Amino acid sequence: MAVLLLPCLCVNRARADVGVAPLTWDDTVAAYARRYAATRKGDCNLQHSGGPYGESIFWGSAGANWTAANAVASWASEKQFYNCSDGSCAGDQGGHSEKQFYKCGHYTQMVWAKTTKVGCAAVNCDADRGTFIICEYDPPGNVLGVLAYGGCGRFNQTGDPYICPEPTSNAQNIPQNLKY
């Protein structure tokens, strides 16, 4: 199992795109992510923990080298469904309801302005079931009826796909012994 700092860097890029302050890595939040990822190792089910944090989960099929950047790009691709004017997601079931974040909840949690800390982990699942990647956010976001950030403003709202490149071996601020 790996502790992943790269998602923090990639998530902060997505946050910067909408004028939101960067997240800081939190070892306590990351420890929770590691513990929960370990419980998914046997089955790789895409199931939320139900814990105290905001959460984004990702599963990639066996046979590919899934990375933190893949997970963050997947979550960030939901930006196209988020309406920054009213906080709704395209395809909402009845507006502001429990289904509000169905199509864009991973994205809105990544850019939730009141969230300040993140911790992530990954595990390769048993029996070639794939890779499970998880990021936990504190305090949690996705509060019904609340905008993820301060409105549309002057920032990039195009919904263009977001790509966070893998770091080079000499990337700053990333320990060289991390798996990603």
CA distances 73 to 13, 41, 43, 94, 116, Å, are 11, 22, 24, 28, 20
pTM of the model: 0.80
| Pairing, β 117-124 against β 24-25 | parallel
- CA dist., res. 175 & res. 169, Å (int): 10
Q: What is the pLDDT of residue 100?
A: 59
Confidence tier at 11 by pLDDT (50, 70, 90): confident
- CA dist., res. 155 & res. 72, Å (int): 19
Mean pLDDT of 124-131: 92
Find where tokens 């890029």 sit: 13
* DSSP notation for 127-152: GG--EEEEEEEES----TTS-SSS-S
Those residues whose C-beta lies under 8 Å from the C-beta of residue 98, and which sit 6 or more positions away, are 144
Confidence tier at 3 by pLDDT (50, 70, 90): very low
Radius of gyration (Cα) for the chain, nearest Å? 16
- The percentage of residues in the chain with a pLDDT greater than 90, rounded to a whole number, is 51
Q: What CATH number belongs to 2-138?
A: 3.40.33.10
Pair of tokens at residue 50: 């139900």
Helix (H, G, I), strand (E, B) or coil at 113: coil
Q: What is the pLDDT of residues 133-149, one digit of tens each?
A: 999 999 999 998 899 99
Mean predicted lDDT score pLDDT of the chain: 80
Confidence tier at 170 by pLDDT (50, 70, 90): very low
Q: What is the pLDDT of residues 62-112, one digit of tens each?
A: 888 888 888 999 999 999 999 888 888 886 554 555 555 678 999 999 999
